[in-house]
Amino acid sequence: MGRRFLKLSATGAALTVNGLRPLPGSNPLSVPSFFGGWLTSELAPHNLAITVAGTAAHLARKRKLDRDDRIALALNAFSVAGLAVLIRQGMKSGAVLEQALAEGLNNDYVARLDPAPDRADLATPWRQVLMPWEVKHPAVKRTHDLPYTDDADNRRLRLDIYQPREPGSRRPVLLQIHGGGWVIGRKEEQGLPLMTHLSARGWVCVAPNYPLSPKATWPEHLIAIKRALAWTREHVSDYGGDPSFIAVTGGSAGGHLAAMVALTQNDPTYQPGFEEADTSVQAAVPFYGAYDLANVLDTKAGDNRLDYFLARTVFKTQDREVFESATPLLQVGPDAPPFFVIHGAHDSLVPVAEARELARRLRDVSKEPVCYAELPGAQHAFDVFHSIRSAHVIRGVERFLRWVHATRDVSTPV
């Protein structure tokens, strides 16, 4: 039993170390490092409780501690201290987001939000944290598998709608794009905490599937999302939504596609057969997106991603122009909508440098506000389920979107 306790304690300490200092994307082990760091950091309170309870139970069974027990106790003490640091980093996310909003929106931020966020709104909602996968809300209705093209039998061309159960009209709309490296993922798997939160507070949220590689070749992914956007603008009023206000969000590959949607509004290149459709968006909130698919920043991680994955699986070409056409960093222009770029400082899958550069380039040329939040201790996919960090992020995004909506249409406040 002592040896087993030692092995479990060593595993817990190793996971804690990885959570605190995950491997970068240039390392061949970055993917397993991501998974371990993601679950350790976002579920830090649960891991802390398990560590403390397991240690207490072992001590209750043992009358005399041997060498293995003492080593295990030291490892668990380290894990408890490290997990406390991870919890503290998650709790700091609220202040980081608030600072990003204040800097990006200036003094007008507080003036437009009436009332301004109070201490209760900035506090951690512990009930959600303790039940991370409970995302349903009694006030939210879901309509699923609506086809957004004439190909009604293709499940990759369907979308779900989340809306308040209470009847209403002219509600602001959010288009949520799932991630998965352009090769996996479904609309039911990501963005649920954010969509549920907003829908319970008067928003209509739309979550489309889209074609995946290797079967699909770029830009089929983006074209499908723009078709979903065009369908939303045409039909969302039937579900209480306001077609004149649509924001776009998504994580990872979904963050990339969200940025591309916002930076290529009404571009006929990506609207074959529906060139006249309005595919503009009023705001963009990409989460931990990949913004440098052409590797213009010349990083080792970006080079590996392009050479060993994107060129072979998503682009299926070595044409540099194709790589650049899919790179948000190279699509930035003065007509970009308001942006809120959010990324984790410890992201092992997409270097945070890409998010920093996107925010910098947007601020250099965009006529609209740009907010950027770099979350301490955050890994990739930090918003997939409820956690201390994701709870703060979701409410920070809500405040950003409320501000944009208020500046665009003061007659219909959220």
**Domain parsing of the chain, residue ranges:** 2-90, 91-408
* DSSP three-state, residue 316: coil
| Residue 85 burial (C-beta neighbours within 10 Å; 0-12, 13-18, 19+) | middle
Position 37 pLDDT exceeds 90: yes
Choice among 160, 292, 347, 383 that is catalytic: 347
In this predicted structure, what is the pLDDT of residue 129?
A: 81
In this predicted structure, what is the pLDDT of residue 410?
A: 43
Model confidence pLDDT, tens digit, residues 67-103: 999 999 999 999 999 999 999 999 999 999 999 999 9
- The verdict on whether 380 is a catalytic residue reads yes
* DSSP three-state, residue 208: strand
91-408 is a CATH 3.40.50.1820 domain: yes
What is the rounded CA–CA span in Å between residue 400 and residue 99?
12
* Residue 397: closest CA among 297, 247, 281: 247
- The verdict on whether 325 is a catalytic residue reads no
Model confidence pLDDT, tens digit, residues 224-239: 999 999 999 999 999 9
Q: Which residue has the higher pLDDT, 260 or 131?
A: 260
Give CA separation, 180 vs 160, 184, 194, 210, in Å: 18, 5, 18, 11
Q: Cis omega (within 30 of 0) on the bond before 214?
A: yes
pLDDT category of residue 414 using cuts at 50, 70 and 90 = very low
Q: Cis omega (within 30 of 0) on the bond before 172?
A: no
Kindly report each contact of residues 101-108 with a partner whose C-beta sits within 8 Å and lies 24 or more positions away, as own/partner: 101/340, 101/371, 101/396, 101/399, 101/400, 101/403, 103/371, 104/340, 104/369, 104/370, 104/371, 104/372, 105/369, 105/371, 105/400, 105/403, 106/369, 108/403, 108/407
Choice among 252, 325, 348, 366 that is catalytic: 252
* Residue 160: closest CA among 183, 182, 135: 135
Choice among 380, 386, 392, 405 that is catalytic: 380
Angle at 387 between CA 382 and CA 391, to 5 degrees: 90
Least confident of 87-91, 107-111, 365-369: 107-111
Position 127 pLDDT exceeds 80: no
Length of the chain measured in residues = 414
In this predicted structure, what is the pLDDT of residue 126?
A: 73
pLDDT category of residue 210 using cuts at 50, 70 and 90 = very high
Span 39-66, average pLDDT: 93
Span 257-281, average pLDDT: 98
pLDDT category of residue 123 using cuts at 50, 70 and 90 = low
Position 104 pLDDT exceeds 90: yes
- The verdict on whether 252 is a catalytic residue reads yes
Contact (Cβ atoms closer than 8 angstroms) between residue 99 and residue 374: no
Residue 124, CB half-sphere, CA atoms under 13 Å: how many? Answer: 17
Q: What percent of the chain has pLDDT over 70?
A: 94
| Residue 241 burial (C-beta neighbours within 10 Å; 0-12, 13-18, 19+) | buried
For the chain, the average pLDDT equals 93
Amino acid at 58: H
Span 314-330, average pLDDT: 98
Span 124-138, average pLDDT: 82
